[in-house]
Structures are given as C-alpha cells and as structure tokens.
Structure 1
Amino acid sequence: MSIRVLSHPSLSELRAWLAGRGAPGADMAALEAQVREVLATVQAEGDAAVARYTARFDWPHAAAQTIRVPEADIASASIPEADAAAIAEAAAHIRAFHERQRQNSWFTHAPGAILGQLVLPVGRAGLYVPGGTGGNTPLISSLLMTAIPAQVAGVTSIAVATPPRPDGTVNPYLLATARMLGITEIYRMGSAWAIAALALGTESISAVDVIAGPGNIYVTTAKRLVAGIVGIDMIAGPSEIAILADASATAHYLAADMLSQAEHDPMASALLFTPDTSLARATAAELERQLDDLPRAELARKALADWGAIVLVPDLATGMEYINALAPEHVELAVADPWALVPLVRHAGAVFLGHTTPEPVGDYFAGPNHVLPTLGTARFAQALSVATFCKTTSLVATDPAYVARHGATIARLARLEGLEAHARSIESRFKE
C-alpha cells in the first residue's frame, strides 16, 4: 500500500476528494426503501416482525417471547475480574466528566413577572449497541458512552438493543457492563428493526423518547427516518481523524494513531497535516511497517488507500485552517506547543493535545464522549452529552399589574400579525 501524499493542495481540491465519503451511493435509494419497509412491517406486526427479522439475519431460533434477555442472564454474566475492574474504572471517569455537564433549572424575576426554565430528562431512552464481529467484539465503550449520560440526565427508563450471536446469546461482557450500570432491559435485536421497535414500540417493547448509539448504514438510515417521531443523538458516518504535526512529533506515534481510525471501517479517513517533509516520509514508512502485523490490516489498508492522506502544508496555521474547514470527528495536535493552537480550533468533534494523548484515550477512558459528529457536521453539531437526554420547558407567571402595564403593547404586536384572538385574550385581562 502506498498512502497518497498531497503537496500543498487547495482546500477545494481536498474537499472535493473527501466529499465522496459522504455522498449517497447509487444504491442508497434502494437501501432507504428497504429500511422503510422494515419500519412499516414492525409498526404493523410488532414483536412477530422483530422476531422474524432476527431469525433471518442473526439468530435462527429467535421467537417473539425470547427477544428480551432474561434478567437472570444479566445477573449471572461472568467476566474476568481484571476486565471488570477496567470497565468500572472507565465508567467512573466517564460519569465524572458527564456530571459536569448537568444543567439546573433556573428562575429570574422581572417587575410583575417570574420567568424560568425547567431542565427535564426525557422519560425513556433507547440505546443501540453494535455486537461487533460475530457478536464477539461488543462495543462495551458505546454502552458506557450512551448509558452514563442518560443516567446523569435523570432518565429512569433505559432499554438497550444489541444483535444476538448465532446461538442467541449476548456477549457476557456487554451483559456484565449493563449490570454494572444497573440496566436490566436488554433486547436481542439489531439493525433497522431494532430502531423501529424502539421508536414505534411493539406489544412487549415500550416506545422510547430518544435513541442514541452508533450502528451500520441500516441503523443510521433507520435513525434518520424515525427522527421526529423520536429524538436521536446524531447521524454519524465512518470514523475520521485529522492530525496536525510538526517536527517534534514521532512518526511511530502518528502512524499508530492513523491506523487506530483506519481499522474501524473501509470508509474511515485518516489524514496527517504537516509542514515537515521528513516527518511525512517517515510516517508513510511507519504505516507500511505497522500494517504488517495488524490483525485488521486488510480493512485498514483499504481505508488508507481510499481515504487516507499525508498533506504537506506551508505552516501549522494553514494546517489548522484546513482542519477547521473539514470539521473532522477527531483532531490531534501533535505539536511542541498544542495549547497555543487551541484558540485556532473552530470545528472539531474532539481535540487531543500533545504527543502523549492518542485518540483512544478519549475513545475509552478519559471521560469525554466518543459519540461524535462526522462528515463535516462538527460545523454545527457536538458530541453526545447529558443534554442529548434532556429538554427544556419555559415557565412564565405574570401578575395583573404586568398585564395592565404591557397589555396594549402585546395586543398591538398580535394585531400586526393579524391575530385578533391573541389581542383579545390580552385585552380581556387588562380591560376588565
């Protein structure tokens, strides 16, 4: 594999090349039609449809009455103590970070009025957790990163959907993690039918208010189609990383960090921006060397060949301009003084500072959420957070003096919009 090296490309050239990652393919319309059919079928047939789809694609012996994981299975799930301790430590860090995101209701006074805002949790959340390859590599971290913010927000009803393994079991690591979090409602269902069941409800599955969590193109399409029926966290695409590096960086580290994203998905993007040609050459060589014994080398090679690049830029400021324009999911500042560049950051899902802060630190352990906007949506979107599971309600209380003092003005504004009943509603109070 030879990664492309782009020497001082224009921003428009770079954008045009990367636009292919987010462009709908010719078969996208057909895929959306399939997902719409799944949604309609689950809405019409409920549990029977969920069981039928599950039996067809994941677990041949699935039945409506066995979709939910028995609580006894969750209680008895066993994993090595060292692994459980690692998960618990990560969970503690994630919870501590998200506790700082908690917003409080507030009230203020104006002459004759009390104004305020209630911050309230949604009633029920549905979390989608991919099962990984053959159900043997469940995304434990995704459960932590979705469930903990929901719990901090105050959500009291949480349902988890995850695809079962071919024998109908759910990986014990996922069950043990759910037990640590106090979650007992887990359903053996995946793909678009899981999203349909969570959003629309079935005979045995109560509909949720918000759906969060990553998934494949079928899951993502289903989430997009049910948005508006329920809230969703975001429409996330393939993983991406953009690294800005200077001569102080180590090629070995840079290559390892690029591969940490490339191994996710053949559509993953890994970009290195640097003004240092020697570092660029060394990193390209390191990528080749490290790929040799990477278990997911074939997948990573394709991602790097299609969507990876080392981009030579005249200086760090220009590199930062390019990164802001692309608004990537992950940004690493592998430079001698990363904090000096923080004021230049405008659009990024998450930023990792310095040579000893690789992106996986945030993926698993440090505390910030790893469910992040992709495909340039960091221009307007942000990480999954406690706010994903909250909503605000305004409060207004005015006394008779307030209405008498301001009523004529309010009625005038109503009539400017042609809304006579609005005006009369006000006047009925202050003209009495």
Structure 2
Amino acid sequence: MKLVLIGSESQNRRLVSLGLHRRGDETCQLTRRAELARLPALREWQVVLLDWDLRTDGAAELLRELHERDPELPVVAIVTNPSAAAQARTAGATETVFKPINIDEGRALLQRVARAAKPAASAAEPAGDTRFITQSAAMEQVLAMAWRVAPTSASVLLLGENGTGKSMLARAVHEHSTRANGPFINVNCPCLQPQLLESELFGHVRGAFTGAVSDAVGKVAAAEGGTLFLDEVGELPPEIQAKLLRLLQERCYERLGEAQTRRADIRVIAATNRDLRQRVAAGAFREDLYYRLNVITIEMPSLRGRPEDIVPLAEHFLETLSQSAGGPRRRLTLAAREALVAHSWPGNLRELRNLVERAAILCDREWLDATDFPELLGRTEPGSPQVGEFVTLEALIEAHIRQVTARAESYEQAARILGIDKSTLYRWRKRFENFDPTNVEAFVG
C-alpha cells in the first residue's frame, strides 16, 4: 500500500512506519497540516493514518482539509479511547484504530479500507488484486510469479492442496492477461465418464454416441480467444490425455463423430492437488503431457503454511458476509484469533470461510469468541452425534456427509471422498432437512 502517516509523536510515527515498511508498504510521514503541500497529488495515495492526538494542529481541521482536497481518500484515525473514536467518526474518519497499534491487525484494517492503487503506466504487473489478502512472503512470491506470467501465452500448471485458491488464481491470471476480454471456461476433469468428458471438452456431432441428439461445440470451442482452465487435470483418463497433448502441441482437435480438424486459439491453465511426477512414474499420466502443461509451475501454499494470513482472511470473510447479508459487523476476540491460528486447516481457505460464516450466522453477539468455533477446540457442535453414542446410523451418516461436503471442493469431489456416486449423495440429501447443495460449491478451488 501507499500510505500517508500523520502524527506529531515522532517515535510512535517512526515505529508504525517501520513496521509497515517491513511488510512492503510505502509511507510518507507528516507532522503538521502545513506539510500537506508536500503531497500535491493526494490521488496517488491509498489511505491516510492520522493521529487524533495531533499536537501541532487540530486533527479535525486537518481531516476536513484532506477531504476537501480528495473527498474519496480514506482516513483512519489513531485514537486512545472510545470518546475520541466517536469524535473522529463524527468528523468524517473512515475507521478508527486504538493505540498502541498492533501492526498486523492495523495493517489488515488499512488494507480493508484503502482504495485501489493506481498502476504505473510502465508497470508490467497489476497493482494488486483485492481477492488476494496476504501478508505472507510465500503467497506474495506466488502472486508476483502469477502477475509476471499473466501477459504471456505460456501454459500454467497450478499445484496445491484442495481449497488453497487455485481456481481463483487461474481466473486472476486470465483477467490480467491479453485474453482478458475473452471467455474463461472451467472444466472439472474428474466429474464425468471418459466419453462424456471428451464430448464436453471437444464437442460432438449428432449421433456420435447414444444420447447425442444434437451437435455440441464443446468447452475448447467455447474458450476460443480466451482461457481453458482444466481443474484436477491429474485425473484425466489416458485416452483424453492424448487428445489434450495434441491440442497443446498443434492447437487442433476434432469433435466426436466428426472428421473435420478444427483450430483452437486458447490458453490452457491446469490445476491439480496430485503429484504429477509420481503419476508419471506410475504410468497413470503421460510424461510428454506433463512437460507440455508444466511450462510454468506455481504452487499455492497451504493456509497452515501462511499463518500470518489466517486472522486477516477471517476478518475479510466476516466483512464480506456483513456487506452481502446486511447483518451486523462481527469482530474476533483475542481467544478466537488464537484458536484460528492454532488450527491446522486441512480444508484451507474453504474450511476457514465456512467456519467463520457459520459462527457469524449462529452467534448473536458482536464479538466472536473461541467458543463460537467448536471445531477448533476439538469438539463438535452441540447435538452433533459421535461415534459410539447411542444414536442411529443415519444420524452419523448425516453428520459425516455434512462435514465432508462443507470442506469438499465441489459436490462431485464430496461424492468421491465418501465413496458413493453423485446420485446416491443426492438421495441422501433429500433425507436431510435444510441441506443446501449450493453451499458445498467452493469459494475457491
């Protein structure tokens, strides 16, 4: 971020500036109102951090001048008590933060209210993407690589556990590419039988197989001029792998039941949570296809590998829920923060979002405590059946299915994990009151 830091207490100002600078932010320090003349282009700055106990000038007057010069510039007031916070907000402060400032928590608040950065005219990478909230060096390296690769036509292979955000990054790479005006077409590779998957990818003509009552163009044709995203590409059947290799090498293909060769102007981004090198060694994945997909590899870090992002992401989800649902704003107590950070997050971002949203919906208090996250404390929600209790088998099945679908990437993946087909899962669904299959579709992939 680019911030203006205004305060008369030099030591506090320098400590805050140093903390922000170490996290990659750019700060300009001012001590009084007259020094605003040093900032002729306020529009280039994203947010102002203003000490409300400004000794050299009246903070309210300085805030008024800032808004006169740039009405859209967010200003966060640093206050010492609730009375000062109320005064600052009445005067027009966007948000308030209490002294002493915790740099990580304060920075998360600043990121939330800061306006979008203006990209430099010569910059090859985007100024930022508000979908990616991070203070993690590992994640920042991932984004730097993504923005560097985005303008090229190179194929990209995204690796990482389920729920780490692979599909969201794939879409972001597309949106920051020269194909941004073209379509972004997603194909979930393991969700269909080989023939149906081939038809979905390449299309078919009428009569190509039983049930093909009309022509279908396929996802490759639908992605023309844009990006084809192959999710869970490691699960591709061998017969489809050969056709995909030809598509990548020669940019041509045929529809099922048709001899005509068609050309494809597309970019391919693939993602998998499998180790493709092991799949190649086991003979389950073509080595030549692996190298074609593996032009650029980006590995998404797990959430437990970026613990500094857990609390800011949880706060972001709470803020998003409040804005979309129009409900009260929720906050996290220190105990809740500690419980969130201590959890291993096997479901990564998807699990975090689900647990945070559930706690916000079920809690009627402003502050969410650790007890509002029973899963993090090693126990289930009240009334949830446990193995060995005197409960029906159906009750255990329902509880298990609910937990798996809440953490699965998709409805199809939930069925695979449970070892049943999708139709069986749907039949179980009808038995569960208030079971909503739309909730199992991922926030991220």
- TM-score, L = length of structure 1: 0.23
Greater relative CO (CA pairs within 8 A, separation 6+): 1
